[in-house]
Structures are given as structure tokens and as C-alpha cells.
């Protein structure tokens, strides 16, 4: 069975495929319309996207909503991570705004976490959900050329996500954890459906 990935973010598509395909989950891209992310949580937004893509394609659809939560900013940017510096801002703009808002915060107060909620909606209305988190700190400047989004300023130990190889990042990232948990739940769901 093919699962549609409900995202227009090519970087996320690559991560989904890299993590799910070795787990025998076939993922395919499909055309579907933009979905307004009106939820107040990552889980709500993931459901909105998966449900819309499933309805439009008639196939099981997997979506994620993820973002950065910074302790010193009261959990911001949170569900607004992609829109933190405005609707059409680039990654560099979002990072610049984040660093500006944290410029007076010392190293000890720069704790943060990435959160990822995954939702898969099936044509029969059933769903499978999972969530993953990765704790770290916000660097004082961007470091590394890999990854995307806030990766260049998200420190785990001595390295940012942008300084890790894709496989190193997958092994510890919020999305990697969420997708592995999702794959296990999906396997169980599929077995129960077949009974």
C-alpha cells in the first residue's frame, strides 16, 4: 500500500523516505491543495494536513507538524515556527529573528526542544499518531551547512543539527523518533485491520 506524504517541503519528503522506506512503508508524493494550519498544537495541525490529503487523494496520508520551542521565549515560536518571521520568510530570516530575540539570554538559559507530531489518516477514517522530541540548546550563531529550518542554531552537545550527517540527525532528531514510533504503531494498526 502506498502512503501519501502530506507536505510541500522537499526536505521533509527526503527525511520521511529515508526513515520510513527501510521499515517497509512505501511513501509517494501526490498533488493536493494547501491546508491552513489553524490548530493550536502540532498534533492538531498534523491531523488537519493528513485528513485533507487523504480526502483529496483517496489514499492513506501521512503528515507531520513540527517546530522549535524555546524555553526563554515561553515555548515560542512553537506552532508558528515556519511563520515566525512572516508568511514568506526564508530560513535565514527566521534564524535571524530568533537570535535577535535571544541576544541577551546567556548560554545557561538557551534550552530548547524540537517537537514533531505525525498523523496518518486512512480512507476509512481511522488514524495513527506519534510524537517525538529532541532537547538541545540555541547557539549564539548559525553553524553548519546541512539540514534546514532552525538546524544551524539547534545544538545537541557540541554540534548543531546542520553539522550532523543526515543519518546522525535521523538517529536523534524529533522527526526520526516520531517516525520510528509511528512505523511501529502503523505495523500494529495494519495487522489489526487485516484480522
**What span, in angstroms and rounded, lies between the C-alpha atoms of 74 and 51?**
30
Of 63, 58, 11, which Cα lies nearest the Cα of 34? Answer: 63
CB atoms within 10 A of CB 122: 18
Distances (CA, A) of 82 to 35, 87, 111, 123, 124: 14, 8, 19, 29, 31
List 2, 64, 65, 91, catalytic entry: 65
Q: For residues 124 and 118, is the Cβ–Cβ distance under 8 A?
A: no
**What span, in angstroms and rounded, lies between the C-alpha atoms of 93 and 63?**
25
Q: For residues 194 and 133, is the Cβ–Cβ distance under 8 A?
A: no
Q: For residues 135 and 110, is the Cβ–Cβ distance under 8 A?
A: no
Q: What is the DSSP letter of 77?
A: B
Q: Is residue 2 among the annotated active site residues?
A: no
Q: Which residues are catalytic?
A: 65
Amino acid at each position: 500500500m502506498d502512503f501519501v506524504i502530506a507536505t510541500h517541503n522537499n526536505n521533509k519528503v527526503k527525511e520521511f523516505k529515508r526513515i520510513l522506506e527501510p521499515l517497509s512503508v512505501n511513501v509517494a508524493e501526490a498533488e493536493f491543495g494547501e491546508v491552513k494550519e489553524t490548530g493550536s498544537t502540532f498534533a492538531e495541525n498534523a491531523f488537519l494536513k493528513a485528513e485533507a490529503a487523504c480526502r483529496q487523494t483517496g489514499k492513506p496520508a501521512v503528515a507531520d507538524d513540527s517546530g522549535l520551542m524555546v524555553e526563554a521565549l515561553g515555548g515560542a515560536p512553537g506552532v508558528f515556527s515556519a511563520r515566525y518571521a512572516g508568511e514568506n520568510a526564508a530560513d535565514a530570516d527566521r534564524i535571524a529573528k530568533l537570535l535577535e530575540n535571544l541576544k541577551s539570554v546567556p548560554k545557561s538559559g538557551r534550552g530548547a526542544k524540537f517537537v514533531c507530531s505525525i498523523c496518518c489518516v486512512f480512507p476509512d477514517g481511522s488514524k495513527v499518531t506519534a510524537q517525538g522530541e529532541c532537547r538541545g540548546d540555541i547557539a549564539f550563531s548559525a553553524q553548519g551547512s546541512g539540514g534546514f529550518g532552525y538546524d544551524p542554531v539547534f545544538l545537541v552537545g557540541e554540534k548543531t543539527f546542520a553539522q550532523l550527517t543526515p543519518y546522525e540527525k535521523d538517529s536523534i532528531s524529533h522527526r526520526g523518533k516520531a517516525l520510528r514510533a509511528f512505523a511501529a504503531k502503523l505495523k500494529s494498526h495494519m495487522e489489526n485491520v487485516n484480522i
